[in-house]
Structure formats: structure tokens, C-alpha cells
Amino acid sequence: MLLDIAKLPNAQNSLIRLHPTDNVAVARVPLAAGAELSVEGIRLVARGAIPAGHKIALRVMPPGEMVQRYGQAIGRASVAIEAGAHVHTHNLSFEEPSLGYEFPAGDALPVPHPPEDAPTFLGYAREDGRVGTRNYIAVVAASNCAAHTAERIARSYEGETLPPYVDGVVAFPHGEGCGHAFGPDVDQLRRTLGGVLAHPNVSAAVILGLGCEVNQIDHYLGPGAPAGKRLAGLTLQSSGGTRATVEAARREIARFLEQAAEERRIAAPASKIVLGLNCGGSDSFSGITANPALGYCADLLAEMGGTPVLAETPEIFGAEHLLVKRARSREVAEKLLACITNYKRYLKRFEGSFDDNPTPGNKAGGLSNILEKSLGAVAKGGTSPLIEVYEYAEPITAPGFVFMNTPGYDPVSLTGLAAGGCNMIAFTTGRGSAIGFPTVPVIKIATNSNTYRQMTDNMDVNAGSIADGENTVQGVGREIFDLLLAAASGRRTCAERLGHQEFVPWRIGPVL
């Protein structure tokens, strides 16, 4: 997509219409009241000031008429809307869609055919066949009761020179692990922490408990666990308290550091990249620039046998029919729809709805409701067939484009993706986001040039160049893919350089 526009806005380049059936366009730049505009032969005058990223009516719409963007319905006109009027929450009503699903006829598993000169990256080969993009020692708290000590252990290495080929000693503190009822909530926490401990970006780890919590460390040290060489378990109660546990952990980590120092990066095919796809602080440009560009990158990766992982169940609601169409089988499509159904049930327990999702920042950026947000968000997944659907933090094993059931809340979503085995994450943002993860590089992609300039220290890629007319979706998608390989090979992302290490497991049950 290359808009035929110059840097200076004029009547012909100030609006973006995304589909021939759309009855709204998006303001590329702020529009003053009375501005004369033209898009695809339609001439109109702005009836009021319209912020950049917000919608303008291309024709008169009576009350009840469906408003369309992306060629899809995003709600109904709640009042009569005149041509040239600002279309947003004041005159656009949310309505849960009644979607028709086009299910796949068979069970077709596409076989990727990577080119003979398929690209590689330099990573750490693990015994199970996965490849790490980093080489960390992780200190993981089994419960909130051990969180402070886990942080003290990691901080004790600040200022120390670590051996070569070791990226650091990082802590995973959190507020869960005790006061839980046994059942799905504890199972999900254990799956999450287990995925962090056995992550391909982790050379070795310590699981740290208090000793009497619900989530006992023995769960991680049982049969089949990589105890000894890759994992050690300690509790504060058996180690002599906080200070003694710090020293005991350092003794375990000393041998882990020696082991990690012997590991080397080797050439690995791009098919070994498992790429989490996430967006946060979205705006109206997300579905025009950064998300389609990331989708192009995801398609490149899937073609090479890699695994792009779409997430955030609340942010596919209203667009799930587009993913169902791409499912490789009826079974996979039904698994995706079950995520939506179960999430609706989850929300009803708290008297919530999917339309509670757009934040004040999302709306200020031009997104009127969850339907509009979701239609832009699914573009991150590109166009490849949907191969599999995973529950939160479930190990990701299938190559190709897949989906994981996570909340739209960014730190919780990233935690699930990482625990599932994503060794890289790409994160698009329009309003600006400063999130990262302790052991997984997070690439930040700005949807507009203003956010890129305002938060240069946080942004790795400026997809706003697409809306500026200086690049294409394919061009920025290729830029993201090239950076993905470079970062997987060791180049530090902005989030890494700034030290962002957010880790928040998904708590779904009651506190006892």
C-alpha cells in the first residue's frame, strides 16, 4: 500500500479510504472545519475539526445505517450523520455482530516450501530441537511469597561482569501462587511458570518458593523435569531465610553460568523462530500501517516454516469470521470459536462485555469500539492458513500461523506468548507503549510517525512512513522481517536497552 501523497497535506491526500464499500474515510492529518477534501472522486467539506486517525462520513447516513470500514460493519449510525461529519462514539453505536462463518471444507495442512537460500539467524540450539535467541539464567518465583527474594538474587549480579555468551540473570517476580484454589487457575499458573523455566531463551533456571504455598516447587522438579543440569529448586524456609537463600541461589547459579559460558550461537533456519504478535496502545492507524506490515512479515515467516502466533482473544471479536475462513480444518475453526464463547462466559461472570476493551487512549486515537479495533488487529496475522489454536501458555509445537487464547491486556498477553515458547515478539503501538519481557526480545513498531518521533527511544520501526507515503506495507514488512533476524541473532531491541522486563501471569480464579 503506497498512498499517492506528498508530505504536506492537501485536499487529495488528507483522507484514507480502505475499501470501496466503506462509507467513512480516515483523516491522515488533523482536519480543520471547512477543509475541502477529495478521496476516490468523492468531494466533501469537513463539518467540524477532525483529529488525525478519526473517521469522516463520505455521504449522508440515516439513523440505523451500518457504518463500514475495512469493508466490514463496525456499528450503526445512532443519529443522522451528514457527509463530512466526524464519525465516532457520539454518533456510532456498538452492536454485537451476527456473523456468518465460512468453514473450511476439509483438513488441508499446507506444507511450507522455503527457498533454497532461506535466511538464517544465529541462535542457541537446545536439546529439544528448539533454538534460543538469548541465553539467560532465570530466577522464577513459585509464589508471591518468594518474589522479593527472587528480585534480590537477580539484583545481586548488577555491576558484576558475567561470562561471555550469558545475557544476564533475570528475576520473574509475580503476585500469584498462594491463596489459589486447586484447579484450572493453579494449572494455568504452573503451565506459565513451567514455560518460563524451560524456555529456549533460558540456559538454566532456579525455581524459588517460600515452602508452604499452594504452588509447591516439587511440581517443577518431578519426573521429566530438567533438574540438575538446567534447573535447581530452593525454598526460603529450608534455606535459612532471605539472605541465606540469596547465597544458596548464587551457588547454584555459579555452575549454571559456567555451563552457559560454554554455549555458542550457531546458524539456524528462520523456521526456528516462534514470533508472538501483539498490539497495545492501538490507534486508528494500527490497521492501516503497522498491523498489515507485521502481517506481511508473519506471512514471510510462515512460508519458511516458522511460527507466527496471533493472540488477544478480545481483539479478534467481531473479526473472528476472517480467521475461521483461513482455518486449515473445521476442528481448528471450532477451537477458535470456542475461545470466543468461553471468553464471553468469563466476561459475563463480571458483568463485562468485549466492548469494554477499547481504552480511553484507543478512542482518542480514533477507534470507536471493539469491532473497529479487532478488524485492524487481526491484520497482524497476515493471510496464511490458521494451523492451530492454543490455550494460554500452552506449548506451541505446530509450524505455521497459529492463535493463542490470551487477554488483550498487554503484559498478561506477552507472558502467555513467551511461556508458550515464543522466542521473539513483535509489538505494534499507535499511542505508544513501553513494555518488554525478561527473556524475550520485543520489537516495537510505531503505527504513525508522530508517536515514533515522540518515543524514539522505545520504537524500533516506524510504520508511519506508510501513511506518510514514503514506504509500502510490503516495504515495512520486509524491514520488520530483517530486524527480526538481526534481533534473533543478538541485536538488542529498544525495550531490551531500556531494561523493560514486565511479567504478569493471567489470574482467572478467586483469591482465598
What secondary structure, in 3-state letters, does 162-196 show?
Answer: CCCCCCEEEEECCCCCCCCCCCHHHHHHHHHHHHH
Residue 466: phi, psi to the nearest 5? -70, -50
Q: Report which of 70, 65, 247, 71 is spatially closest to residue 152, judged by C-alpha positions.
A: 247
Query: What do you get for the CA distance between the two ends of the chain, in Å?
Result: 53
Nearest residue to 85 (alpha-carbon basis) of 48, 112, 32, 42: 48
User: Taking the domain 15-93, which CATH number applies?
Assistant: 2.30.130.110
Q: Over the stretch 174-189, which tens digit does the pLDDT of each residue have? A: 999 998 889 999 999 9
* Residue 222 pLDDT: 77
Distance CA 290, CA 320 (A): 20
Looking at the DSSP bridge assignments, the partners of residue 123 are: 266
CATH class of the 271-497 domain in this structure = alpha beta
Rounded distance, CA 140 to CA 328, Å?
37
What is the pLDDT at residue 3?
Answer: 42
The answer for 165, left when phi > 0, alpha when psi is -120 to 50, beta otherwise, is: left
Q: Which helix (H) or strand (E) holds 73?
A: strand 72-77
Supply the pLDDT for residue 1.
40
Here the cell at position 62 is: 440515516
- One pLDDT digit (tens) per residue for the chain, 512 residues: 444 444 578 878 999 999 999 999 999 999 999 999 999 999 999 999 999 999 999 999 999 999 999 999 999 999 999 999 999 999 999 988 888 899 998 887 777 777 888 899 999 999 999 999 999 999 999 999 999 999 999 999 999 999 999 999 999 999 999 988 899 999 999 999 999 999 999 999 999 999 999 999 999 997 766 555 899 999 999 999 999 999 999 999 999 999 999 999 999 999 999 999 999 999 999 999 999 999 999 999 999 999 999 999 999 999 999 999 999 999 999 999 999 999 999 998 888 888 888 899 999 999 999 999 999 999 999 999 999 999 999 999 999 999 999 999 999 999 999 999 999 999 999 999 999 999 999 999 999 999 999 999 999 999 999 999 999 999 999 999 999 999 999 999 999 999 999 999 999 877 77
DSSP character string of 405-462: ---S-HHHHHHHHHHTT-SEEEEEESS------SSS-EEEEESSHHHHHHTTTT-SEE
Q: What is the pTM of this model?
A: 0.95
Backbone angles phi, psi at 303, to 5 degrees: -60, -25
- Map out the domains of the chain as residue ranges: 15-93, 136-262, 271-497
CATH of 136-262, one of 3.40.1400, 3.40.720, 3.30.750, 3.90.1570: 3.40.1400
SS3 47: coil
Cα distance between residue 390 and residue 397, in whole Å:
10
Q: How far apart are CA 284 and CA 459, in angstroms?
A: 18
Q: CB atoms < 10 A from the CB of 166, how many?
A: 20
Phi, psi of 481, deg, nearest 5: -60, -45
CA 496 to mean position of chain CA atoms:
16
CA distance 255 to 407: 38
Largest CA distance in the chain: 77
Where in 185-229 does DSSP place strands (E)? 202-209
Q: How high is the pLDDT of residue 106? A: 80
Burial of 455 (0-12, 13-18, 19+ CB in 10 A): middle
The sign of the CA dihedral 15, 17, 23, 26 is negative
Note the pLDDT of residue 5.
40
| Cβ atoms 488, 423 nearer than 8 A | yes
What are 431-483's pLDDT values in tens digits? 999 999 999 999 999 999 999 999 999 999 999 999 999 999 999 999 999 99
Coil/strand/helix, residue 208: strand
Q: Name the nearest CA neighbour of 192 among 406, 439, 415, 509.
A: 415
Distance, CA of 396 to CA of 95 (rounded, Å): 34
